Structure 1
Amino acid sequence: MALAMLPVMTAMTFAAVVIPTQAAAQSLPSLGQSSAADLSPAMERKLGERVMREIRADPDYLSDLLLSDYVNALGGKLVAAARTVGLDASQSFEFFVVRDSDINAFSLPGGFIGINTGLIVATRTESELASVIGHETGHVLQHHIARMLGQQSQNSWIALGGMLLGLLAGIGARSPDLGMGIAMGGQGLAVDRQLRFSRDAEREADRVGFQLLQAAGFDTYAMPTFFERLQRADSINEAGVPEYVRTHPLTTDRIADMLNRSRTAAYRQPVQSPEYAFVRARSLVLQQKSASDYAAIADAQRTAIRAQTTSNVAAAWYAVALAEFKQRRWVPAREALEKSRAAFGGTGPGTPSLAVLASDIARLSGQPDEALRVAAQARAAFPLSQAADMAYADALVASQRIPDATKFLQAQVERYRSEPIWWRALAGAWAAAGKRTRQHAALAEQYALQGQWMAAVSQLKLAREAGDASFYEMSVIDARLHEFQRRYKDDKEDEKDFGKLAG
């Protein structure tokens, strides 16, 4: 799996300079002074975006909007909590999900934090999931890479360049072993001090993550509880050691530190989002890759429901419904979803996961009007949900309301300017409307956001040749064409700079 080699980056997480409160600073290990001059926030973001382009092009990157909505809302709560405890959380953060059954999470330059589906499935409460995301956010907030650069200067630049190029080589060639080899070679000059730094960084990230958990209203006992469970898995079966244990060595001292902090913290009853259980079930299904895998998940969940061994019947039926949906078995999917909704209780759309799946089943089974009704209801109930918005757009197209769909999607690309998925949806709507120039121009914007400059240029050339553009549209296309060609040249120059860092 191409993304399997991403944990090599975890020990070196990157972000904006942090200003802890005096009390917080006294409780953190000393890692030396951060040095924005060694690696500026702008360079961090540039590095992160360069890596993210490769990740987003990988089939194991999940662009599922329900998962994206949830992890960004959860991560957003932790980032907001950082501000309440005196941490500088002014930079941008993006949380994303990777299709991988390994229990792991990782940080990248510039505030990008990845979460494996396997980690989501392995947690038992939302607070446990928040504890791991809080730990990764702690790495980012504490600006660990700048601190390491301040300690190791040139050697760290070589290590950083080697790790980045190794990551890109492994992803681009779909050869994790090759990428890992390059990365490890680049780290050779600084490995001893890096390891000592990493141990201190892990303890610091624990303590910052603990502060975030507490300030955001989560159960602080979740951090030592989850880490202890992973440590037990490590000691019981070496062959099945969780990835998170391998990339974030869990020591008894670290777990004891978190446990002692939990005992002295004021208790607050955590409120778990009802969406958590459905996101966990969705992650279980989406990390599968074949029809036989989906069928096995559906059978296993039905067995657990009958045997009364599942802790959440509504989520178990949701997993059945989604697994049947992935096999395009509309009737059993609808029946399972109805049972999920009944077990969940209440009226209305329920949660975003329930509502969006209901709309998708209706749309793909030939009931576009029902899909549109459910999606409209979901949009009203969950105005911040991109998934509900996309379900509504899909239903508009399925209902042959193409002018309404293009108008709606044009508003969405303005609202979510940095999200390629909306430009792709708009391109589909323009294709349905027979507007080829606009279709190709929208695809060009999608590719540009993904850093695929030559693909974007090709789409703009197709837009120019489509024959249905106005004078104004042709002027815009020409301007964008020059812009994308310039960005392509800039990227090539950046690659040379990264090569110099590694050489």
Structure 2
Amino acid sequence: MAGALLPAMTVMTFASAIVPTRAAAQGLPTLGQSSASDLSPAMERKLGERVMRAIRADPDYLSDLLLSDYINALGSRLVSATRKVGLDASQSFEFFVVRDPAINAFSLPGGFIGINTGLIVTTRTESELASVVGHETGHVLQHHIARMLGQQSQNSWIALGGLLLGLLAGIGARSPDLGMGIAMGGQGLAVDRQLRFSRDAEREADRVGFQLLQAAGFDTYAMPTFFERLQRADAINEAGVPEYVRTHPLTTDRIADMLNRSRGAGYRQPEQSPEYAFVRARALVLQQKSASDYATIADAQRTAIRTQTAPSVAGAWYAVALAEFKQRRWEPARDALEKSRTAFGGTGPGTPSLAVLGSDIARQSGRPEEALRIATQARAAFPLSQAADMAYADALVASQRIPEATKFLQAQVERYRSEPIWWRALAGAWAAGGKRARQHEALAEQYALQGQWMAAVSQLKLARDAGDADFYEMSTIDAKLHEFQRRYREDKEDEKDFNKQFG
């Protein structure tokens, strides 16, 4: 995905940075009013969901629930602050993490915001991470992509269509050259007009992000500090320019603007989430892809602890524990996690990251009852944590408590209707209980949520042929089969319309 998704994503982020917009908060540059030709919120969401289908199917889309829980809590904290600054955030937002060491983040139409693991790892404080998420949220709140249509309708539609088709081509073909070529071909027709608005649009996103950062209780100095560090990386080593600098050109004026606003706002010590250090460590490990990479990370973190250069001792030991876990080295993993817990201090489960990894280590090393005990405590301590809920479900299955597991997971798929990962977990529980028809039916629901209609249809046919479904279940399977086939035909028609309109 690092070679296919993000080069195309870079174009989309660039587009969101340079298109014109209107001022919507005090102190924002005036970039013109919206018009009837702007992309409607419903169309924005539809286009965003279309791109997200491809992203979710990519193996480098991280469905890790600990990262997802954290980044969505952070994003929600910023979005909730819109009420304090008089901005409209009536649309829904979804924040997600991509496995890629490049320092980058990007926004899509419809409120979808992606954050690379490399960006999380590079930040030094939670406020620095929040400053980038806030900036991207500013792009979404100001509808920068949609407002491109208000300037030059025909060219903007061509540019937008080219960008989105480039994304889909780059993702589907896993070819960065193809994705970039299609995207830039369309964008070139309107780029001259768009470039005139690049600095103003970036300043607007900065200022909206700054307002959200301040209203949400983060350190506002984090924004100019982090951006200045990225700018220095640009100046020192052109070959290693952070992706975020390329897609969001950082200027001295922008950084000075944020610094002046921070001075005016005054400094206050922000309260940093205890999860930040563990999420940063987790992102560092999960962006690796081989056993040798995990071993290298474990050695480097041990060295950082020994030389007292680790920004967080608890986080560094957590990275060691996760890296050892990934290598299936249970005792070193357990030992490192205990050292992480000791460095963190406190009693009880600690944080979701500590508790879930403890449960995972116990379960994978053949201690299902210990895993269940830890997960049960975690659920009680962190009732909003999907990761703790999943650890509990996994521990139930490992303990051969299949009826409890399936009952719990059926409740979870109702609670998180749009999350494919819960249907996949339910399919695993049904498989453990020997319920083949229900296993395939659950997998069909997972694929349907990902927009993979033919895969969903295939799973329903397997469910129908499994031979262990009763009359009622067969009726349900047949009804879903007809529904998913209809949705597949509609999706193909939508694709034709999309290509006709934008291609």
Q: Is TM-score (shorter-chain normalized) higher than 0.5? A: yes
Q: Find out whether 1:3 has 2:21 as its counterpart.
A: no
- Structure 1 residues without counterparts, runs of 5 or longer: none
Q: Find out whether 1:141 has 2:141 as its counterpart.
A: yes
Following TM superposition, by how much is the alpha carbon of 1:300 offset from its aligned partner in structure 2, in angstroms? 0.5
After superposition, the C-alpha distances for 1:321-379 in whole angstroms (9 at most, x for unaligned) are 00000000000000000000001011000010000000000000000000000000000
Assess, with a 3 A threshold, how the Cα gap between structure 1 residues 479 and 391 changes in structure 2: closer, same or farther: same
Q: What are the within-5 Å matches in structure 2 for residues 454-493 of structure 1?
A: 454-493=454-493
User: Match of 1:500?
Assistant: 500
User: Match of 1:72?
Assistant: 72
Q: What are the within-5 Å matches in structure 2 for residues 317-396 of structure 1?
A: 317-396=317-396
Instruction: Say if 1:165 and 1:498, in contact at 8 Å, map to a contact too.
Output: no
| Aligned counterparts of 1:126 and 1:321: Cα–Cα separation in 2 | 22
Please identify, of 36-45 and 103-112, the stretch whose mean Cα deviation from structure 2 is larger.
Answer: 36-45
Following TM superposition, by how much is the alpha carbon of 1:20 offset from its aligned partner in structure 2, in angstroms? 7.2
Please identify, of 309-318 and 409-418, the stretch whose mean Cα deviation from structure 2 is larger.
Answer: 309-318
After superposition, the C-alpha distances for 1:27-54 in whole angstroms (9 at most, x for unaligned) are 1112211246531111111111111111
Q: Find out whether 1:62 has 2:65 as its counterpart.
A: no
| Aligned counterparts of 2:15 and 2:92: Cα–Cα separation in 1 | 18
Assess, with a 3 A threshold, how the Cα gap between structure 1 residues 81 and 486 changes in structure 2: closer, same or farther: same
After superposition, the C-alpha distances for 1:237-279 in whole angstroms (9 at most, x for unaligned) are 1011100001100000000000000010143321000100000
Instruction: Say if 2:281 and 2:319, in contact at 8 Å, map to a contact too.
Output: yes
How many percent identity over aligned positions? 88
Following TM superposition, by how much is the alpha carbon of 1:148 offset from its aligned partner in structure 2, in angstroms? 1.3
Following TM superposition, by how much is the alpha carbon of 1:488 offset from its aligned partner in structure 2, in angstroms? 1.0
User: Match of 1:314?
Assistant: 314
User: Match of 1:441?
Assistant: 441
Instruction: Say if 2:234 and 2:240, in contact at 8 Å, map to a contact too.
Output: yes
Q: What are the within-5 Å matches in structure 2 for residues 195-210 of structure 1?
A: 195-210=195-210
Assess, with a 3 A threshold, how the Cα gap between structure 1 residues 36 and 214 changes in structure 2: closer, same or farther: farther
Instruction: Say if 2:44 and 2:146, in contact at 8 Å, map to a contact too.
Output: no
| Aligned counterparts of 1:313 and 1:342: Cα–Cα separation in 2 | 10
Q: Find out whether 1:121 has 2:124 as its counterpart.
A: no
Instruction: Say if 2:23 and 2:30, in contact at 8 Å, map to a contact too.
Output: no
Following TM superposition, by how much is the alpha carbon of 1:19 offset from its aligned partner in structure 2, in angstroms? 9.7
| Aligned counterparts of 2:49 and 2:136: Cα–Cα separation in 1 | 18
Q: What are the within-5 Å matches in structure 2 for residues 247-258 of structure 1?
A: 247-258=247-258
Letter in 2 for 1:311: P
Instruction: Say if 2:22 and 2:30, in contact at 8 Å, map to a contact too.
Output: no
After superposition, the C-alpha distances for 1:61-101 in whole angstroms (9 at most, x for unaligned) are 11100000000000000000012211110111000000110
Secondary structure at 1:107 match in 2: strand
Instruction: Say if 1:186 and 1:502, in contact at 8 Å, map to a contact too.
Output: no
Assess, with a 3 A threshold, how the Cα gap between structure 1 residues 37 and 189 changes in structure 2: closer, same or farther: closer
| Aligned counterparts of 2:174 and 2:35: Cα–Cα separation in 1 | 34
Following TM superposition, by how much is the alpha carbon of 1:198 offset from its aligned partner in structure 2, in angstroms? 2.8
Aligned length: 497
- Structure 2 residues without counterparts, runs of 5 or longer: none
Secondary structure at 1:114 match in 2: strand
| Aligned counterparts of 1:408 and 1:118: Cα–Cα separation in 2 | 35
| Aligned counterparts of 1:93 and 1:235: Cα–Cα separation in 2 | 34
Secondary structure at 1:10 match in 2: helix
After superposition, the C-alpha distances for 1:193-213 in whole angstroms (9 at most, x for unaligned) are 122223221110000000000
Following TM superposition, by how much is the alpha carbon of 1:471 offset from its aligned partner in structure 2, in angstroms? 2.0
Instruction: Say if 1:426 and 1:442, in contact at 8 Å, map to a contact too.
Output: yes
User: Match of 2:405?
Assistant: 405
So what's the TM-score if we normalise by structure 2?
A: 0.97
Instruction: Say if 1:162 and 1:182, in contact at 8 Å, map to a contact too.
Output: yes
Following TM superposition, by how much is the alpha carbon of 1:309 offset from its aligned partner in structure 2, in angstroms? 1.2
Assess, with a 3 A threshold, how the Cα gap between structure 1 residues 19 and 89 changes in structure 2: closer, same or farther: farther
Q: What are the within-5 Å matches in structure 2 for residues 189-268 of structure 1?
A: 189-268=189-268
Q: What are the within-5 Å matches in structure 2 for residues 82-97 of structure 1?
A: 82-97=82-97
User: Match of 1:295?
Assistant: 295
Secondary structure at 2:197 match in 1: helix
Secondary structure at 1:159 match in 2: helix
Instruction: Say if 2:37 and 2:149, in contact at 8 Å, map to a contact too.
Output: no
User: Match of 1:432?
Assistant: 432
Instruction: Say if 1:170 and 1:177, in contact at 8 Å, map to a contact too.
Output: yes
| Aligned counterparts of 1:313 and 1:3: Cα–Cα separation in 2 | 34
Instruction: Say if 1:31 and 1:147, in contact at 8 Å, map to a contact too.
Output: no
| Aligned counterparts of 2:184 and 2:15: Cα–Cα separation in 1 | 13
